[in-house]
Structure 1
Amino acid sequence: MIALWSEHRRSLFSFAGRETRQPFWLWVLSVVGAAMVIWTVFMTAFVGIIMTGPIEAAPLNFAMAPIVMGVISLTVIVLLAAAVARRLHDSGRSGWWGIPAPLFLMSGMAMMARMFTAIQADTQTPGATDAMSGMPPLFGPILLNNLAYLASLLMLVILCCMASQPGDNRYGPSANGGDSR
């Protein structure tokens, strides 16, 4: 595992070249696994703070959770972007095929943050009776964005699972010596 992180650390920002399926998926698994651990620790601390007293006294507020999740997601995107481009290159495709999924993810995060901020503002307004009044205008766009994100992510996973293009291609020499694993 340390060798995997060392190898990808050297090529972290290199969008050139090719990468075979096995090291790519091990890298994806380790990055997503690390993000899940960090997310779990954050959410556990966040919920623990909220549960120990009144929400107004908490040093964190509901608007901060989507922001932190956005930072974690952006970090995962940065760590995986070059590897995805190299994996797509290995199957003979341009790295630009990897762009739609992160764009939909980031726009969804921004819309969710806006929705949660509106909900929080509604709950803190004196005399407010409907805590969900900030949700209906954003629900449709968020739903459509999430469906587009899932479709683009599925397309990207399928493309990254495809066999390597045998031999050299326009992106460089074969990363596995001609084997199409």
Structure 2
Amino acid sequence: MDWYLAVLKNYAGFSGRARRKEFWMFTLISFVISALLTGIGTALDTNLLSGIYSLAILIPSLAVLVRRLHDTGRSGWWVLIALIPIIGAITLIVFAATEGDQAPNAHGVNPKLATA
């Protein structure tokens, strides 16, 4: 939960780098919360709860993805590859799962070393 809250505290921080663990833990917890809200919304016959939550985490989700791309040495503009159906999403998943640069890159120092 700390990883999720750390991303929310850095709400619109598009600069810097994000570890794989930060990105994937945020994604996992967001998915669980979204699934719970969708279930509650289905029981109440409304999509309002999941819709509001999706809008609320849109900016932090994009920010952590851009920081994750920065960690792998790529520009944040690679997010736009998601506009290509199927192939774009698969490419972003591969990029997000790739280990980050060990050495400092143009976007900052290695976040694994910065927290140690």
Give the TM bin, normalised by the shorter chain: 0.7 to 0.9
Structure 1 counterpart of 2:34:
35
Structure 1 counterpart of 2:88:
152
Higher Cα radius of gyration:
1
| Maintained 8 Å contact 2:8/2:60 | no
> What is the letter of the counterpart of residue 35 of structure 2?
M
Alignment partners' CA distance in 1, 2:86 and 2:51: 17
| Pair 1:80 & 2:61 matched | yes
Tell me, what secondary structure is at the counterpart of 1:177?
A: helix
RMSD (CA atoms): 2.3
Shift of 1:73: 3.8
Question: TM-score scaled to structure 1, two decimals?
Answer: 0.55
5+ residue gaps in structure 1? 47-59, 105-147
Shift of 1:100: 4.1
| Pair 1:25 & 2:24 matched | yes
Shift of 1:75: 3.5
| Pair 1:97 & 2:96 matched | no
Tell me, what secondary structure is at the counterpart of 2:113?
A: coil
Correspondence list, 1:112-131, <5 A = none
> What is the letter of the counterpart of residue 165 of structure 1?
D
Structure 2 counterpart of 1:53:
none
Question: TM-score scaled to structure 2, two decimals?
Answer: 0.82
Shift of 1:25: 0.4
| Maintained 8 Å contact 1:98/1:156 | yes
Structure 1 counterpart of 2:108:
172
